[in-house]
Amino acid sequence: MKKIMDQINPIPENAELLHKRSLTDEVYEYLSDKIIAGKYFSGDWLRQEDISTLLGVSQTPVREALDRLVASGLVERVPYRGVRVPILEHKEIVDAFLLRLILETTGARLAAKVIQLEEAQALSILVEKTANLVSLEDMSTLRQLNKQFHTRLVEAARSSLLNKLYEMTTNAFPDWMLYEYMFRHPELLQSTLMREYHEHEAIVDALLSNDPQAASYQVANHIKYLWHDLQTYLNISGDSIQEIEKQISAMFPNHQK
C-alpha cells in the first residue's frame, strides 16, 4: 500500500479520481475507454503532464499506460512531439479492414464450435442493451458496448494470439469514426444503428446454432457494411471494394445476403 501511495500526487481540486488497484492498469483502462467512447478524437494529443494532473497520479503510471496504448495500436507516438490518437491514412484503413475481415471471421468460425451457452447469452445481452440507444446522447455508451461485443466474440474462440492480433487490428480500423460522423449527421443515425443491431443479432443467432460457416459469413457481412459506411462517410476510395466483395463471396459461397 505504501508503495502505491508514494506514487500518488496531492489530489488537485476537481480531479477525476481512480480506484488505486494498479495505477498503470487503471490509467490504461481510463484512457482506452475515453478514446473508444469518443472523448478523444483523431489527432488529439495525450499529454502526460495533463493526464497526471487530471487523474491525480504521478507521471510514471501515465507514461507506462501510454506505452501500452502505443503497443496496442490505439494511439501513436510521434517523435519529438508526443502521443496522439492516430490520424490514419486511407491505405492503413484498407489494410486494417482486410486483416479484420480475416481475423474476426476466423474467430467467429472457431467460436461457433466451442462457445458456451452463457457466453452466447452474454453477447445477446450486449446486443439488447444497444436496442434503444438511438440518440446522439447515446453515442458514447453505444461505442463502448459495440467494442465489448466484438472483443468478446473473438475471445470466445479461445486463442490468446488471435485476441492480441485482433486488438491491434481493430484499433487501426476506425469504425468508431462512423459514430463521429453520425454525430454530425443525425439524420443517418436511426437507420444505420438499426441495421447494426440486426447484424449483431444475426451473428449471435449463428453462434447459438453452432454453425461456423454461418457465423463467419454474418461477421463478414457486418464488416463489409462497416467498410461501405467508411467509404461513404469518410470519402475513402472505393477502388478495391469490388475485389473485396469477390473475396467475401469466395469465402462464403453457400451464404448469400
Is the distance from CB of 207 to CB of 116 less than 8 angstroms? no
| Beta bridge partners of residue 45, listed in sequence order | 84
pLDDT digits (tens, 9 = 90+) for 31-41: 987 887 668 88
pLDDT band with cut points at 50, 70 and 90 for residue 108:
very high
CA dist., res. 145 & res. 129, Å (int): 8
Alpha carbons within 13 A on the beta-carbon side of 46: 31
- The per-residue pLDDT for 117 is 94
- What's the average model confidence in pLDDT over 233-256? 60
The pLDDT value recorded for residue 33 is 78
CA distance 211 to 208: 8
> Which domains are seen in the chain, by residue range?
2-84 (1.10.10.10), 90-251 (1.20.120.530)
Closest to 95 (Cα-Cα) out of 179, 169, 176, 171: 169
- Cα separation, 145 vs 127, in Å, equals 8
Q: In the predicted model, what is the mean pLDDT of residues 51-70?
A: 94
| Pairwise pLDDT comparison (156 vs 192), residue with the higher score | 156
Place 59 in a pLDDT band, splitting at 50, 70 and 90.
very high
Q: Which of 11-25, 120-134, 217-231 comes out lowest in average pLDDT?
A: 11-25
* pLDDT score of 234: 67
